[in-house]
C-alpha cells in the first residue's frame, strides 16, 4: 500500500516559514539577551548546515519535522532562559491546573523536557546519516544514533560548564541553568539518552513489523566480517608494506 506524501519542498518550506516567524518574534526582548545569543549559536550553525547540505543530502520529511519540533521548543527556552519558562503559569491560565503541583515538581522542569526531546526528536535524523552515509546496518543503525546522542549530550554539558566558567556571574549561571541541582548535568545526559532509546526502540519496532529482511540484516550486522585482529598486528603489516 502506497501512502500519498506531500511534496518535500512544500513541507520544508512550511516548516522553515513557521520557524523563521517564531525565531524573529522570540528574538525581540528576550529575558536575557546575552544568554539568548549564546543559546542560538548552535541553532544558526545547525540550520546553516541543513541548508548547505540540503541539495546533496536531503533528509526525509519525518526528519525535518522532528528537527523543527526540537528547534521550536529550544527557541522558547532561549527566549525566557530555560529555568524561567513560565509553562506552569500557562497551564494554570489555559488548562486550569498547576503542572508543578500535580506532579510534585519543586523546580522548573522545562530544561529537562528539552534534553529529553533532544534524544527523542534528533536520534532519528542522526540515524538517517548513519544508514545513508556510514552504511550502518542492523543493530548498528540503532546503537550508533543512541551513542551519538549520548556523546553530544555530554559534550554540550562540557560546553555549558566552560561557558559558565568563562563568562561567570549571572550570565554564566543563567546559561548553565542548574537551579541549584548538583546532579543537573547527570539528569540532562540521562534524559537525552532516554529520549534516544525511546526513538530507536520505536523505529526498531516499526522496521521489525514491516521489513521482511529485518531478521536477516540484524543477524548479518553481528557477524564477524574480518577474522584478522587489528592493533599491533595490523600496524606490523602496514610497516611491512612500506
pLDDT (tens digit per residue) in 147-166: 999 999 999 888 877 777 77
**For the whole prediction, is pTM greater than 0.85?**
yes
User: What pLDDT is recorded for position 34?
Assistant: 86
Within a domain: 39: yes
User: What pLDDT is recorded for position 169?
Assistant: 56
Range 93-107 average pLDDT: 91
Q: How many domains does the chain have?
A: 1
Within a domain: 241: no
Within a domain: 219: no
Q: Which domain holds residue 57?
A: 8-208
User: What pLDDT is recorded for position 1?
Assistant: 64
Closest to 71 in 3D by CA, of 45, 109, 35, 94: 45
Range 169-181 average pLDDT: 55
User: What pLDDT is recorded for position 196?
Assistant: 98
Within a domain: 84: yes
Within a domain: 179: yes
Q: 43 is written with which cell numbers?
A: 541553532
pLDDT at 144 over 90: yes
Within a domain: 215: no
Mean pLDDT (the chain) is 90
Range 77-104 average pLDDT: 93
pLDDT at 170 over 70: no
d(CA 123, CA 79): 25
pLDDT at 186 over 90: no
pLDDT at 97 over 60: yes
Within a domain: 224: no
pLDDT at 39 over 90: no
Within a domain: 183: yes
- Percent of the chain whose predicted confidence (pLDDT) is above 90: 70
Amino acid at each position: 500500500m502506497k501512502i500519498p506524501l506531500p511534496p518535500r519542498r512544500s513541507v520544508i518550506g512550511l516548516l522553515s516559514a513557521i520557524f523563521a516567524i517564531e525565531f524573529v518574534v522570540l528574538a525581540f526582548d528576550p529575558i536575557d539577551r546575552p544568554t539568548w545569543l549564546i543559546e542560538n549559536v548552535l541553532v544558526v550553525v545547525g540550520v546553516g548546515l541543513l541548508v548547505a547540505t540540503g541539495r546533496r543530502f536531503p533528509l526525509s520529511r519525518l526528519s525535518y519535522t522532528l528537527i523543527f519540533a526540537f528547534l521550536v521548543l529550544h527557541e522558547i527556552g532561549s527566549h525566557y532562559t530555560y529555568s524561567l519558562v513560565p509553562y506552569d503559569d500557562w497551564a494554570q491560565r489555559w488548562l486550569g491546573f498547576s503542572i508543578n503541583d500535580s506532579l510534585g515538581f519543586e523546580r522548573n522542569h522545562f530544561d529537562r523536557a528539552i534534553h529529553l526531546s533532544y534524544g527523542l526528536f534528533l536520534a532519528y535524523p542522526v540515524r538517517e546519516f548513519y544508514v545513508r552515509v556510514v552504511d550502518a546496518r542492523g543493530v548498528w543503525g540503532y546503537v550508533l544514533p543512541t551513542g551519538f546522542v549520548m556523546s553530544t549530550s555530554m559534550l554540550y554539558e562540557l560546553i555549558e560548564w566552560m561557558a559558565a566558567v568563562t563568562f561567570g556571574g549571572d550570565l554564566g549561571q543563567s546559561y548553565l541553568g542548574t537551579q541549584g541541582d548538583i546532579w543537573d548535568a547527570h539528569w540532562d545526559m540521562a534524559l537525552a539518552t532516554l529520549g534516544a532509546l525511546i526513538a530507536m526502540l520505536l523505529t526498531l519496532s516499526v522496521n521489525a513489523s514491516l521489513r521482511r529482511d529485518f531478521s536477516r540484516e540484524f543477524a548479518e550486522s553481528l557477524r564477524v566480517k574480518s577474522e584478522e585482529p587489528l592493533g599491533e598486528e595490523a600496524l606490523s603489516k602496514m610497516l611491512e608494506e612500506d
